[in-house]
Amino acid sequence: MNNEITGAEIVLKSLAEQGVEVVFGYPGGAVLPIYDTLFKQNSIKHVLVRQEGGAIHAAEGYARSTGKTGVVLVTSGPGATNVVTGLTDAMMDSVPIVCITGQVPQHLIGSDAFQECDTTGITRPCTKHNYLVKDVNKLSSVFHEAFTIAQNGRPGPVLIDIPKDVQFASGNYEEKNKIIIPSHRLFEPSPDFEKNKIEEAVELISKAKKPIFYIGGGCINSGPKASKLVREFINIVGSPVTMTLMGLGVVGSSDKNSLGMLGMHGMYEANMAMHECDVMINIGARFDDRVTGRLDAFSPNSKKIHIDIDESNINKTINVDVPVIGDVKQVVEKMISIWKEKKYKIDTESLKLWWDKINKWKEVDCLNYNNEGKQIKPQYAVQRLYELTKNTKTFITTEVGQHQMWAAQFYKFEEPNRWLTSGGLGTMGYGFPAAIGAQVGHPDALVVDIAGDASILMNIQEMSTAVQYRLPVKIFILNNEYMGMVRQWQELLHGGRYSESYTDSLPDFVKLAESYKAVGLRAKTTDELDDVITQMIETKNTVIADIWVTKEENCFPMIQSGSAHNEMMLSKDQKQDKKSAEKGKILV
């Protein structure tokens, strides 16, 4: 009886035992007891955002840059509904998040009370799991299970809804190691489980004449060791490798085997190699529609190996020949040992021919753009940013749109966990709060949000957060006064009718920065660009760099919707044939 503490204290104690250092949140009526307890302690830091949507993206940025679980604390009703986008984003991109929401006291649940909403009902499809805790004595076990579920198997967001009376009630705390989670509630990969499949996969790779590795975000989620092992295995095989948007950094951009990103705005050589390969080794990717293009023309002549921790990804859109369910680092470690044990050797003759073919495709120089004149090309701005930051420990986040694709194409990543972008959900407004989270996790690193003028306005209120916590986040806006990707699709598919995609009445971003007591910089021509970037990097304060870029630049190469990997568009002049364009128009 004497050991009893309040529910709010149990919340903080659980977080502390889970090793949580920082919580991103926003107070409100239904979480006041937790905020009161937070006030009385010093071990957990709280970052006050300016809208709950910012809190969850910040937690995502923190989680993905540190490999830890991001924690969010918000109130009931609107607090909870404002995190729905971020929860969905974390679900799609497999980011471990624990989100704590306050709820009205239990006797008011169901009465349409002030700031009441059915939080667990609303968030059920966009969380890996969620809880409404009605018994204070179950609170600690729920927290410990929630953290385990968020990180276990394919990571994802978990939400804990706590009625206010439970926060006030007294109960017992149970320690982490006393909680037994039944095995069916978790995914426990066993390295021996898929032994035969792994052997089959390795043998298939050894016989390949035109192999390609197709690497996804699962390799990053599996931890830094996974990236090392994947690099090692690819080197042993000598195979080309391409990465998804989420997988950038698993293999260094300068690695001789790397073909860069694949997919809708991926590299010509990567997509052609995917189309013509004879053995495809998918590690931790999920055949997303941005990657595959038209399914019935996807890599028609290859045997496909698919390594994934989530069984539901197997044969979901693409049928594979050798599925392996498991954690990347365990599976790839096993693959390497089998390869060495059996003294496999790939047919070097065929591999050389394959590389010759790929090198021919590389000569197309698909990222080539016209860089004449004084006006800044967006691609050039990203290239300069890369050149001037490549020797610094840099984290890049992005919003969603053209600038995101240019960042993926022109910024070269050498390490995992340095690239944070909203891939699955495509959430505009993700990048800036994510950068705040990454900066909180890495106070001494350079964190740059490559943004568009439209996206940045979706969470611009977080300027206040960045400045309050002295977070020297850099916002690098490629400003073309358009929702660039919308405009590009309207140009290519809707007869150039730019319906509502021009952003009139944009703020003066320099003055906007200054009004938050941050630093605003502007580059209007190529002559000013390097100075602005250098000044931005050197400023020990939050910075908005407003880079005026050419307005109607398109992002190429591009696989238009409904087209296949070998039907890439390299420039505007190369129109898609009318029939497939019409068919593709209905797709997203």
Q: Which residues are the active-site residues?
A: 52, 114-115, 164, 485
Q: By CB under 8 A, is residue 180 in contact with other proteins?
A: no
- Report yes or no: 435 and 447 within 8 Å, Cβ to Cβ: yes
How does DSSP assign 191-206, residue by residue? TTTTHHHHHHHHHHHH
Could you give the 3-state DSSP secondary structure of residue 294? coil
- Give all strands of the β-sheet with 322-325 in edge-to-edge order: 258-261, 241-243, 211-215, 279-283, 303-308, 322-325
Near other proteins by CB under 8 A: residue from 112, 192, 296, 504 = 296
- Report yes or no: 140 and 160 within 8 Å, Cβ to Cβ: no
Minimum CB–partner distance for residue 116 and other proteins (Å): 17
Cα separation, 220 vs 223, whole angstroms: 5
Q: By CB under 8 A, is residue 289 in contact with other proteins?
A: yes
Minimum CB–partner distance for residue 312 and other proteins (Å): 4
Minimum CB–partner distance for residue 124 and other proteins (Å): 6
Minimum CB–partner distance for residue 203 and other proteins (Å): 26
Q: By CB under 8 A, is residue 125 in contact with other proteins?
A: yes
Q: By CB under 8 A, is residue 190 in contact with other proteins?
A: no
Near other proteins by CB under 8 A: residue from 135, 175, 311, 527 = 311
Near other proteins by CB under 8 A: residue from 293, 326, 416, 437 = 293
Cα separation, 362 vs 268, whole angstroms: 7
Which residue, 19 or 121, is less far from other proteins as judged by CB? Answer: 121
Near other proteins by CB under 8 A: residue from 312, 391, 499, 505 = 312
How does DSSP assign 335-399, residue by residue? HHHHHHHTT----HHHHHHHHHHHHHHHTT-TT-----SSBBPHHHHHHHHHHHHTTS-EEEEE-
Which residue, 88 or 398, is less far from other proteins as judged by CB? Answer: 88
Which residue, 130 or 167, is less far from other proteins as judged by CB? Answer: 130
Q: By CB under 8 A, is residue 124 in contact with other proteins?
A: yes
Strands 419-420 and 394-398: parallel
Among candidates 463, 452, 477, which has minimal Cα distance to 541?
463
Q: By CB under 8 A, is residue 578 in contact with other proteins?
A: no
How far, CA to CA in Å, does 263 sit from each of 234, 273, 284, 558?
20, 11, 15, 8
Total number of residues that touch other proteins (CB under 8 A): 31
Number of residues assigned to the chain: 588
Minimum CB–partner distance for residue 316 and other proteins (Å): 6
Minimum CB–partner distance for residue 157 and other proteins (Å): 13
Q: By CB under 8 A, is residue 583 in contact with other proteins?
A: yes
Residue type, position 237, single letter? V
Q: Note the helical H segments in 186-317.
A: 195-206, 218-221, 224-237, 268-276, 289-292
2 φ/ψ angles, rounded to the nearest 5 degrees: -70, -20
Which residue, 362 or 583, is less far from other proteins as judged by CB? Answer: 583
557-576 positions binding other proteins, by CB under 8 A: 561-562
Q: By CB under 8 A, is residue 320 in contact with other proteins?
A: no
Minimum CB–partner distance for residue 125 and other proteins (Å): 5
Near other proteins by CB under 8 A: residue from 121, 373, 443, 496 = 121
Q: By CB under 8 A, is residue 21 in contact with other proteins?
A: no
Minimum CB–partner distance for residue 245 and other proteins (Å): 17
How does DSSP assign 498-530, residue by residue? -TT-B--S---HHHHHHHTTSEEEEE-BHHHHH
Q: What is the CA radius of gyration of the chain?
A: 25
* Contact stretch for other proteins (CB under 8 A) within 24-32, 122-130, 188-196, 424-432: 122-130
129-168 positions binding other proteins, by CB under 8 A: 129-130, 132, 149
Which residue, 187 or 344, is less far from other proteins as judged by CB? Answer: 187
- Report yes or no: 240 and 173 within 8 Å, Cβ to Cβ: no
Near other proteins by CB under 8 A: residue from 66, 81, 106, 120 = 120
10: left (phi over 0), alpha (psi -120 to 50) or beta: alpha
551: exposed, middle or buried (Cβ count in 10 Å: 0-12, 13-18, 19+): middle
Placement of tokens 């529910």 in the chain: 7
Strand partners, 325: 308
Which residue, 124 or 511, is less far from other proteins as judged by CB? Answer: 124
Q: By CB under 8 A, is residue 581 in contact with other proteins?
A: no
Which residue, 184 or 374, is less far from other proteins as judged by CB? Answer: 184
Near other proteins by CB under 8 A: residue from 128, 265, 474, 565 = 128
Q: By CB under 8 A, is residue 315 in contact with other proteins?
A: yes
Cα separation, 40 vs 490, whole angstroms: 55
Which residue, 28 or 217, is less far from other proteins as judged by CB? Answer: 217
Could you give the 3-state DSSP secondary structure of residue 100? strand
145 φ/ψ angles, rounded to the nearest 5 degrees: -65, -40
* Contact stretch for other proteins (CB under 8 A) within 243-251, 445-453, 472-480, 580-588: 580-588
Which residue, 121 or 373, is less far from other proteins as judged by CB? Answer: 121
356-415 positions binding other proteins, by CB under 8 A: none
302: exposed, middle or buried (Cβ count in 10 Å: 0-12, 13-18, 19+): buried
Which residue, 41 or 317, is less far from other proteins as judged by CB? Answer: 317
Residues that bind other proteins (CB under 8 A): 120-121, 124-125, 128-130, 132, 149, 182, 184-185, 289, 292-296, 310-312, 314-317, 319, 561-562, 583, 587-588
